[in-house]
Amino acid sequence: MSEPLIVCLDVDYRAEMAVAAGLWFRGWTAAREETQAVAGFREVAEYQPGEFYRRELPCLLGVLREGPAADIVIVDGYVSLELGHAGLGAHLHDALDRQVPVVGVAKTAYRSASDVVEVLRGQSTSPLFVTAIGIDLAAAAAEVKRMHGEYRVPTLLRAVDQLARRSEMPVRIDPAG
């Protein structure tokens, strides 16, 4: 059985645009990506508390179109926020026709989140908060714990964050695609 193709995604918001980045890698313990994509977006929706997905989802879908189809998607955030309230990851799962499992890895606690596994990595005493849809939550949390890197945030999750933040590119994609 071959290792799954996983993509981790992140978005950086700037004054008049957003930059979404994706790193595709083979297997949970990969130290390096196989490919990457960056996409710029203008006319990004304003932030609305409890509806973050309205802002972020079009950017994530846009950068996913720039790379190969993945077996698993990792987002910076939550899949579910609380019972009956979908988070970014659940909305992405729906947008992908529920065909691709989505794992949420958040760095901060969402007080009323349900179905969350706290994962301690490295020497950190601050957990990552893992949620999932389309994949067993305990298995997803165990895989996040195994991801490459000795620090709290896995190597490739840190790298996609830095790629989104550091990319200087002309805006070429509208949220609608």
What's the pLDDT at 58?
95
pLDDT computed for residue 172 by the predictor: 47
The predicted model gives 58-72 an average pLDDT of: 96
Quick: pLDDT tens for 1-50: 689 999 999 999 988 889 999 999 999 999 999 999 999 998 887 777 76
pLDDT at 1: 66
What are the residues whose beta carbons fall under 8 Å from the beta carbon of 1, sequence distance 6 or more? Answer: none
Predicted confidence band at 169 (pLDDT cuts at 50, 70, 90)? Answer: low
Domain ranges for the chain: 5-166
Of 155, 9, 13, nearest to 77 (Cα)?
9
The 10s digit of each residue's pLDDT in 102-154 is 999 999 998 888 899 999 999 999 999 999 999 999 999 999 999 999 999 99
Give the 3-state secondary structure of residue 133: strand
Contact criterion met (CB below 8 Å) for 28 and 143: yes
Q: Which of 69, 65, 43, 161 lies closest to 106 in space, CA to CA?
A: 161
CATH number of 5-166: 3.30.2170.10
pLDDT of amino acid 57: 95
- Give the model's pLDDT for residue 128: 98
Ordered DSSP codes for 47-67:
P-TT-THHHHHHHHHHHHTTS
Q: What is the pLDDT of residue 119?
A: 98
